[in-house]
Structure 1
Amino acid sequence: MTINDTAKAYHDQLFGDLVSTLARTDPELIGYFDNFAFAEVLADAAELDDSIDLHTRLLVQLAAVLAAGGLAEFKVLAAAGQANAGVTPVELKEVVYQAVAYVGMARAYDYLHAVNDILTAAGVELPLPGKATSTPESRQFRGHVVQEQIVGTGRVDQMHAAAASDTKHFQRYLTGNCFGDTVARGGLDLPTRELITFSMLAAIGGADAQIRGHVSGNLNVGNTRARLLAVLTVLVPFIGYPRTLNALAAINDITPPATD
């Protein structure tokens, strides 16, 4: 199948003269995949919300590919994003750092090394300047502030109060570690971080309740139904239909479509 001009132009913009070996060994698959992922999908996403530009698209796709366990694909996208899409070294690091909270270090470990290799090859000196905004003493307070922005005023205290005595430490972890240590970091603004979280949860599978929670969280920090749908649209080629449809159900449940 011939790759159409729109898909070819996008491929060349993002990947330059890189030619996948799969284009030689599996030309039919790559033909219809590229036409779908790099033309049809992008047109539909732009119609929903044209603020999902190349830079933002790469951030959410990197987050989803990491959560889905696609290390080889992640390396290609990360290198291309850093070289050709304006994804900064700090942003690459922050996507992976945030992943530790949502997919765990066991999965994120290889991706952290992959980013380090990409940045080192590009001549970036490591470590990067720190982006922490909390200390061991302030992490609970800082996390509480950020968590409330996402889940709503008063909800954090309610969740802590409602937890059984032998499970209260999980709420403490969420506030101090997930939000205070991680989500409160600099380098990415909060609406972008929530899109990244949504993308990871959509891709990881089995996190339907958390997806619904973070659809609400996205709305609370200023993202819209249209923006979430545009993000989910650009994830379809990378996470497949079952996980896409689960995430779509969560969006429709929390922010239903307008009726004509």
Structure 2
Amino acid sequence: MAFMNKNAESRARRLFAGVNSSLSRTDPEFVEIISNFSQDETANANILTEKERMLCILAALLGCQGMGEFQNMLHAALNIGVDPVAIKETIYQATAYLGIGRTCDFLIAANGIMEQHGVRLPLAPQASTNEEARFERGLAKQVELFGPDMAKRQTDGPALRRNINRWLADNCFGDYYTRNGLNGQEREMITFCFFLAQGGCENQLRGHTAGNFGVGNGKEKLYSVVEQCMPYIGYPRSLNAMSIIDEIAAKEK
């Protein structure tokens, strides 16, 4: 930390207490660059709450499969008091957009870190629906976010897409979006981050940019979301996301 500016050093000491890294010894100049940038310059160019910022970064690291930095930032999130329930809900919801194959290891790693921080597992249940209601509740959430055409997909969509359209309602939205632990704005925000970070999901990013606008996460807030994720995912995907935000915002005028 001797190479960091005072703001970055102070923040890093608070966030990363208990995190052991060899990079300060092997790559001090790299640590100086990334710490000064991510923990001072970009962290201070921010309209998000600290909780929102941490959830966005964790979601982006899930999206880009940045396991090592995910573990560092999870320590940081817990050190500053982010609710473990909100963190778990972020990982759970990522499964709908990234798949079990890409989230299971992150969940196992998160459990280990939470236990290091004295969090008792399992956490309290957050489900608010059941097998009988999950389809209707999920479809209602889709319609709320994206309009009545979502319901028409169940009746008017291609026959070969009947299964996946139903699963989008009962699983993606019914099993995840109806859970407690995160509010609607937070769930749409982290979903935006999953698409932003994994790349190749521009159509879905367009849809969930509109979804974010619908729940009150406006253009300025989404720009701030991208800015906070950018140190962890790089400039190309960040600039592409900003172009999509501009595109959807122009259509909604």
TM-score relative to the length of structure 2: 0.94
Identify the match of residue 62 of structure 2 among 63, 66, 72.
Answer: 66
Cα deviation digits, residues 132-158 of structure 1 (max 9, x gap)? 111110001110121122212x12113
- Aligned twin of 1:104: 99
Instruction: Note the C-alpha offset of 1:19.
Output: 5.7
| Correspondences of 1:115-126 after superposition (within 5 Å) | 115-126=110-121
- Structure 2 partner of 1:147: 142
Matched, 1:207 2:201: yes
Give the SS at the match of 1:2: coil
State how far apart, in whole Å, the 2-side matches of 1:178 and 1:230 are.
26
Aligned counterpart, 1:133: 128
Q: Deviations over 1:30-61 (max 9, x none)?
A: 11111111111123224xxxxx1222111110
1:86 pairs with 2:87: no
TM-score normalised to structure 1 length: 0.91
Aligned partners of 1:162 and 1:31: how far apart in 2? 56
Tell me, yes or no, if the aligned pair for 2:60 and 2:196 is still in contact at 8 Å. Answer: yes
Task: Name the aligned partner's letter for residue 232 of structure 2.
Answer: F
**How many residues end up aligned between the 2 structures?**
252
* Residue 249 to residue 159, structure 1, CA distance change in 2 (3 Å): farther
In 2, distance between residues paired with 1:162 and 1:205?
A: 30
C-alpha displacement of 1:165 = 0.9
- Tell me, in whole angstroms, the C-alpha distance in 2 between the residues paired with 1:30 and 1:119: 25
Q: Equivalent residues in 2 for 1:166-205 (5 A)?
A: 166-205=160-199
User: Partner of 1:53 in structure 2?
Assistant: 49
CA shift for structure 1 position 223: 0.8
1:6 matched residue in structure 2: 7
Q: CA deviation at 1:73?
A: 1.1
Question: Is 1:157 the counterpart of 2:151 in the alignment?
Answer: yes
Q: Which of 54, 57, 72 matches 1:76?
A: 72
Q: CA deviation at 1:17?
A: 6.3
Residues 174-206 of structure 1: CA deviation (Å, up to 9, x unaligned):
011000001111000010011100011100110
- Deviation >4 Å, runs of 4+: none
Letter in 2 for 1:97: Y
Mapped partners of 1:56, 1:13: distance in 2: 18
Superposition RMSD on alpha carbons, in Å? 2.0
Deviations 1:88-147 (A, max 9, x none): 121121011001101000000101101111222233222211111111100011101211
* Farther off after superposition, 163-172 or 15-24: 15-24
Report if the CA contact (8 A) 2:56-2:189 is conserved. Answer: yes
Structure 1 residues not aligned, in runs of 5+: 47-51
Match of 1:224 in 2: 218
Work out the CA distance in 2 between the residues paired with 1:18 and 1:67: 22
Q: Percent identity?
A: 38
| Contact kept? 1:45, 1:229, Cα under 8 Å | no
* Residue type at the aligned position of 1:64: A
